[in-house]
Each structure stands twice: as C-alpha cells, then as structure tokens.
A and B are shown apart, each in its own frame.
Chain A
C-alpha cells in the first residue's frame, strides 16, 4: 500500500546536537511538507517542496533545514539554532493539482 513513512517514531537528542528526521513517500506525490505541532496550537508549516531540488520556507523555518534530492524523500534537519526543538513533527504529501493530503504518523522529538 502507498503511504508516508516517518522514522523514528520517538527521538531523543542532547541540546546543541543537530538531528535529521526522515520522511519517505511511495505515492509519487510531487509536493511534500513538514509541519510542527505544539500542545494547544494548530499545526504550523516549517518547509515545503513542490518539486525535486526546490523548496520554500514556511511560517517557522528558522533553525530548520531540508533537502529534496529525490521525489520520494524530504528529510528535515533540526539544527542547534532551533531554540525550542521539542515538539511533534508531521510530514505530509500531496499530488500536484489535487487538493487531498496524506499525512505520516509523525516523529516526537525530545531535546534534553
């Protein structure tokens, strides 16, 4: 079955370390997205990519970086510059010219 795979489900890192969250899709979707979820807040867009080798900043891109070298992969790096990295991170994808989204199961990152 097609879908989005996010790994790992839970991730612990020490403060000051960079960490990369994986997002892979086998849906042949063109667009991919990273969202962050904090308690009591709606999901917020970090970065998105509409095509391979191109990506744009979302509302809260500071302290994060992404790459889109392959259509099926959109990894997110949480850098040491991100001041409050502990959160739940969701990856999503969407086929071009189609409004429906598919979401991954998320990665809960805890920085200690």
Chain B
C-alpha cells in the first residue's frame, strides 16, 4: 500500500530555532509536495519537488530519491510559522496525491 509517513506529529519550538520536518514514502514518485495549512483550514502549496533542493525565503525543502525521504526546514522560526505542514506525493501512474497526516508546528515567542 502506498503511504506517506511524517514525523514528528507535533513540534513545539522557541522563536528563532531551526525546524526540521520529515517525510518518507514507499515507492517511486513523480513529485512531492510540501503544503501549509493554517487554523482557518485553507492550504497553501509551499514547494513541489522531484529532485534536489528548493529554497524560498526561510523555507528549504530537500528530497533524496534513493532513500525515499524529504525534509522541510525552517530557519529562524517565527510564531507566524505556526501551522500544520503536510507532505503529499504523486506516485508514478497514479492521478491522485497521497497525503501524510501532517505535522503541527507551534513556535513560541
């Protein structure tokens, strides 16, 4: 069964700390997405990766295709980064996205 595992489920950190959220998947994928969901519920797409590394502001996403693993890093974390971060993959030959259950991040001032 194709699944997506995220860790940790919950993460609380002090403002300014470096944050890492991990995502593992089971078989070959055509793309991996990192998404952000704020308390209101709407989802924002942060990154789409098929290889390597991408950076946008304080956010960095990496993917290791051989290890079937991706990480989302946040540098100099801020309370406004508090949200649920969701990893989703598109497996080869599959139209749909398969989602992880999310990591709830809380940044304390």
Contact = CB atoms under 8 A, between A and B. Distances in A.
A90 B99 contact: no
The secondary structure that dominates the B interface is strand
A103 B43 contact: yes
Nearest to B101: A42
Contacts of B31: 99
Given A40-B101, A48-B96, A103 B45 contact: yes
Contacts, number: 57
B33 A104 contact: no
Interface residues of B, number: 24
B4 A108 contact: no
A90 B44 CA distance: 12
A3 B40 CA distance: 17
Contacts of B30: 99
B42 A99 contact: no
A59 B57 CA distance: 36
Contacts of A37: 41
A108 B41 contact: yes
Contacts of A56: 95
A42 B102 contact: yes
Interface in B68-109: 86, 88, 90, 95-102
Contacts of A108: 41
Closest 4 CB pairs of A and B: A105-B42, A42-B99, A103-B43, A99-B31
Given A37-B41, A45-B96, A101-B48, 20 more contacts: A42-B86, A42-B99, A42-B100, A42-B101, A43-B88, A45-B97, A56-B95, A58-B96, A99-B30, A99-B48, A100-B45, A100-B48, A101-B33, A101-B45, A102-B45, A103-B35, A103-B42, A103-B43, A105-B40, A108-B41
